[in-house]
Amino acid sequence: MADFDRFMQELKAKNDIVDVIGSYVALDRKGGNHWACCPFHHERTPSFAVNQSEQFYHCFGCGESGDVVKFVKEIESTDFMGAVRILAARAKMEVPESNLDTEESIRKKKKRDAMAAILLDTARFYRANLFSGDERADAHLQYIADRKMLPSTVKQFGIGASLDYRELAEYLAGKGYRKEDILDSGVLIESKNGRLIDAQAERLIFPIINNMDEVIGFGGRFLGKTDFAKYKNTKETMLFNKRNTLYNVNLLKKLKREQPISSVIVVEGYMDTISLYQAGFKNAVASMGTSLTKEQARLIKRYTENVYISYDGDFAGQKADLRGLEILDGEHLKVLVVPMPDGLDPDDVAKQGAEAYQKCLDAAMPLVDYKLHAIERKYDLSRTDGKRAFVKEALQIVSGTDSSAVREDLLKKLRDKTGLTYQSLERDLENLRKENKADAADTVGANVKIAEVARGSDKTEKAERFILAAKLFGADYAKNVSIEKLHFENSVHARIAAYITVCEAEGARIRPAELFEIFDENCPAFNEILDLNYEDKLAGEVAKRFFTDSVATLERESIDREIALLQEELAKTDEQSRRVEILSSLQDALRRQKKRR
């Protein structure tokens, strides 16, 4: 790995962050930084700063930050090695693939490359079948015509046809691929008699392509009558994992290069995606029939923060499990759910024209509203028992919202739906919220809760952040102050403090950009520290006094913590000699505590 570390240092040296970011967005130099409107969120006033001397960027609006590799990774919607390869090509450097890891990694890469080649050739084979003139493809072409797919759409999505069980096996064998690699790619399966057969035999084929434009699997639609599922996906492989995949993400990435993406529409299936795309909604992707996953949510987040969920018209009745939508919300995506006409799906509506589907989008509602919409479908509100059950479940949903304004709005809607008075609903809601708080307190436990409050105290957090920002960005008043003995409760702060301590001990320069290699993903606690390096927040007498006060705060808390630990140890120790030692240390700590008060 030492060779790869040297390669990365050279790669970053040859890709100045201002030059790289400047090739994507227009930068304007002001003071010590270059500024632009953030490419990761829409804004009118530039708050995206590029620090050339330290080689990192930070947006003071949305909090995005990183080094040159992270920027390319995010802007190109790729992974770490994808960004490395883009930067290496830019600098005319060769990526030392053989040095990335052990021999096992080299073997896996060769395996992956072989499987990717098999999948690409298979996609080409299926596509050629569709337009071969073979009468066996007539059913596939008729299905395409019945679903009103244009030839340009068929080409755009690489749609193809499997005509039998044997021809694909013969085709791939003729290409010289190894049997093991073919089976591992998932395109063929082995029958009981040992023959290799097409895993998608006699189906209409939808290639599944990742955000690096690699074919990673296939979806197949059986065209005749069948007792088993009409759609079948490639088995899970080294390349294909449904949890990490969105159908049409490759064209979404292409769209992002052409224009800002304000939102993404998530549908369930291949045809929903294709019909919406053909109708002009090119920002549609599909979860391929699975519940949304955290990995898919993070993939969507590379392109936008705004998500429309557009499932079938009977979604509210049949999809009572809304965990997938909660996952999106948990990843801080802004979720709107699109209500569809009963019995129709996005494919049906899109075929009526773009205006028909746009009306559905315009009626999209926030997640909490949709939850109420979903449970309303479960009950008959004309019956007393149905109304009471609905209100009980609805109030649980309303109680989970943090905003008083949203709760008030939702209670008004419940009033209008049920005919109950606003006052009675409000009283029931307040009682429910008190019960929920009491239950949470019982679960957590008084001692744990007190400890959490102490750890998360706003004063301590602010002190830790300011000290670290002053040290990272070289404030004069912080240079000769050691933080080695200070205790940082926040785990991210503690890692940054450890980095600073090591640099100072070794006489090395403190480089904030190096911390992006420690924190792999976007780290809010680190970004809050970077936010302090703005205008004059770290400069002047006020900042100097706040730094001194912050150090004193942590010193007091470090002593308090030391005393608590010594008292705890003393209570557990019976050995007399050890008790004498602890008491001596405790008296010293108490004297220091008194001086700090």
CATH code, domain carrying 473: 1.10.860
**Are both 61 and 124 inside the same structural domain?**
no
Count of structural domains, the chain: 5
CB 84 within 8 A of CB 11: yes
Contacts of residue 78, Cβ cutoff 8 Å, sequence gap at least 6? 72, 86, 211, 212
**Are both 508 and 485 inside the same structural domain?**
yes
The whole domain housing 273 covers: 249-373
> What is the distance between the terminal CA atoms of the chain, rounded to a whole angstrom?
50
Look at residue 583 in the predicted model and tell me its pLDDT: 83
Helix (H) or strand (E) holding 410: helix 404-418
**Are both 57 and 155 inside the same structural domain?**
no
- Residue 118 counted as domain residue: yes
- Residue 494 counted as domain residue: yes
**Are both 182 and 311 inside the same structural domain?**
no
Looking up residue 329, the CATH number of its domain turns out to be 3.40.1360.10
Determine how β-strand 48-51 pairs with β-strand 56-59. Answer: antiparallel
Look at residue 450 in the predicted model and tell me its pLDDT: 29
Bridge partners (DSSP) of residue 334 are 306
- Residue 378 counted as domain residue: no
**Are both 343 and 432 inside the same structural domain?**
no
CA nearest to 539, candidates 473, 485, 596: 473
Look at residue 521 in the predicted model and tell me its pLDDT: 57
**CA–CA gap between residue 348 and residue 343 (Å, rounded):** 9
**Are both 40 and 143 inside the same structural domain?**
no
**Are both 476 and 551 inside the same structural domain?**
yes
pTM for the model stands at 0.62
**Are both 92 and 123 inside the same structural domain?**
no
Backbone angles phi, psi at 57, to 5 degrees: -120, 155
Per-residue confidence in pLDDT tens, the chain, 597 aa? 557 778 888 999 999 999 999 988 889 998 888 999 888 776 778 889 999 988 999 988 878 888 999 999 888 878 788 889 899 999 999 887 654 455 666 677 788 889 999 999 999 999 999 999 999 999 999 999 999 999 999 999 999 999 999 999 999 999 999 999 999 999 999 988 889 999 999 999 999 999 888 999 999 999 987 767 788 999 989 899 888 899 999 999 889 878 888 999 999 899 999 999 999 999 999 987 667 888 888 888 878 889 999 988 665 444 434 667 778 877 778 889 998 887 889 999 999 999 999 999 999 998 888 888 878 878 888 899 988 998 898 898 888 887 888 889 999 999 998 899 999 988 988 888 888 766 655 544 433 332 333 334 478 888 999 999 999 998 999 988 999 888 888 888 988 988 899 888 888 888 888 888 777 556 778 888 888 887 778 888 998 999 998 988 888 887 877 788 888 877 888 888 887 787 888 887 787 776 665
DSSP annotation of 336: E
Looking up residue 86, the CATH number of its domain turns out to be 3.90.580.10
- Residue 325 counted as domain residue: yes
Look at residue 558 in the predicted model and tell me its pLDDT: 78
**CA–CA gap between residue 568 and residue 324 (Å, rounded):** 45
**Are both 576 and 462 inside the same structural domain?**
yes
**Are both 366 and 270 inside the same structural domain?**
yes
**CA–CA gap between residue 48 and residue 508 (Å, rounded):** 28
**Are both 298 and 311 inside the same structural domain?**
yes
Look at residue 266 in the predicted model and tell me its pLDDT: 95
